[in-house]
Amino acid sequence: MKISAKMVAELRARTGAGMMDCKKALTEVDGDVDQAIQLLREKGLKASELKSSRDASEGIIVSYIHPGNRVGAIVEINCETDFVARTDVFQDLAKNIAMQIAASKPKYLKREEVPQEVIDSEKDILKQQDDIQGKPDHVIGRIVEGRLDKFYTEVCLLEQTFIRDNNKTIDQIVKESIAQFGENIVINRFALYVLGQS
């Protein structure tokens, strides 16, 4: 099947992938756009680790105000090119992340940003829980570390379960986007606003 420039342009608009990658994917699947999207995602996931070290200085800032105007979020998401930043898919990703922040109210982007005093305080609280009292210290230590992981999934945006797909974390959504676009994608920073709270 002959792959037309229109088909390549359509696939590029839907995925943000490079023109040559789009043409090659369409050729491999005999012009089936949906299969080409899947193929690009599969190939991209393998390369996402390599891309994550590349500079991402383009992107967008998106806000979301929850109905009722009592909770709002603003997030900066970066990519490598202005072309990807302008795609509907990238902008939908940013809107979904802003909605995630408003709904799940993370305090930090990733666990490395959680201050040590916050971690120490949480460990102290976990050690005092009734169901682990009387257990050997090494067992308590393992239980506390396990529960600390759960704490991170509540307070760190990248470790939270995605509100639109309970089978994925935000980190997985970002990695899938890296694969889809063929560019590094980074959630740079965010802010959450709750009416009456500083």
Question: Are 95 and 132 found together in one domain?
Answer: no
DSSP state of 114: S
Cα 165 to its chain centre, rounded Å, is 12
Mean pLDDT over each residue of the chain, to the nearest integer: 86
Question: Are 170 and 87 found together in one domain?
Answer: yes
Question: Are 100 and 180 found together in one domain?
Answer: yes
pLDDT in tens, 43-85: 765 554 545 556 777 999 999 999 999 999 999 999 998 899 9
Q: 53, 97, 101: which is closest to 73 by C-alpha?
A: 101
Return d(Cα 59, Cα 137) in angstroms, integer: 48
> For the chain, how many structural domains are there in total?
3
Return d(Cα 177, Cα 14) in angstroms, integer: 12
Confidence at residue 3, expressed as pLDDT on a 0 to 100 scale: 85
Confidence at residue 48, expressed as pLDDT on a 0 to 100 scale: 47
pLDDT in tens, 132-178: 777 777 777 788 888 888 999 999 999 999 999 999 999 999 988 88
Residue range(s) defining the domain that contains residue 186: 58-109+156-194
Return d(Cα 178, Cα 172) in angstroms, integer: 10
Q: How many CA atoms lie within 13 A of 177 on its CB side?
A: 28
Question: Are 31 and 119 found together in one domain?
Answer: no
